[in-house]
Structures are given as structure tokens and as C-alpha cells.
Amino acid sequence: MMPKSYTEFENTLMLNEPPNQWPNALKSMWHDAKGDWESSHNIAQDMHSELGSWLHAYLHRKEGDHFNAGYWYRLADKSFSNKTLEEELEEIVTYIIESA
């Protein structure tokens, strides 16, 4: 079942895996929120869309690779985020939930 809010998303972090029926974007952010950058990145890099580029940008910003993050933000048609990583994670998750 799709979470209806960021709080509901956070409540799923006790699970061992994200629910299968979730879209890949939400699964990617779930892995990131669990501290598994690699799994999150593996999903995001196969998403060839503006949303996938946004996830990719966020992940490279988190990694500290600002040059690469800037490239992905441009592909996502977004400005380089000046939010905290936690705020951007919540923004992305909320966007995914509201777009579903």
C-alpha cells in the first residue's frame, strides 16, 4: 500500500524491504532513508526521466559530488537544492506520493 504522507513513509522504515507495489522512485528513496545509498542509486540510475534525474541529483549531492549533482539537477530542470538533505528527502518523497 502506498503511504499517504511522509510520516507514513517513515513508518515503513522498520521493514526489511520496501513494498513491491511501490513505484521505483519511492523504493529508491526508501533505501536512501535506510542508509543504503548504493541500492538507492542503482534504482535511480535506471530511471530515465526528470524524476529519476532529481533522485540522481539528490543522491550525488548527498555523496558530496556537487559537480555531478549539478548536472543531474539541470537534467531534472531544477535548481541546485539549498535545503538540508533531510528536507530534500522529505520534499522528494512527498512529491512522489502526491504524484501517484
The DSSP string of 33-48 is HTT-HHHHHHHHTT--
pLDDT at position 100 is 85
For range 10-19, the mean pLDDT: 96
SS3 (DSSP) at 61: helix
**Whole-angstrom Cα distance, residue 25 to residue 28?**
5
Q: Residue 13 burial by CB count (10 A; 0-12/13-18/19+): exposed, middle or buried?
A: exposed
- How many CB atoms sit inside 10 A of residue 80's CB? 12
Averaged pLDDT for residues 86-94 = 98
Tell me which DSSP letter residue 76 carries: T
pTM over 0.85: yes
- How high is the pLDDT of residue 97? 97
pLDDT of residue 1: 87
Q: H-helix or E-strand containing 50?
A: helix 50-63
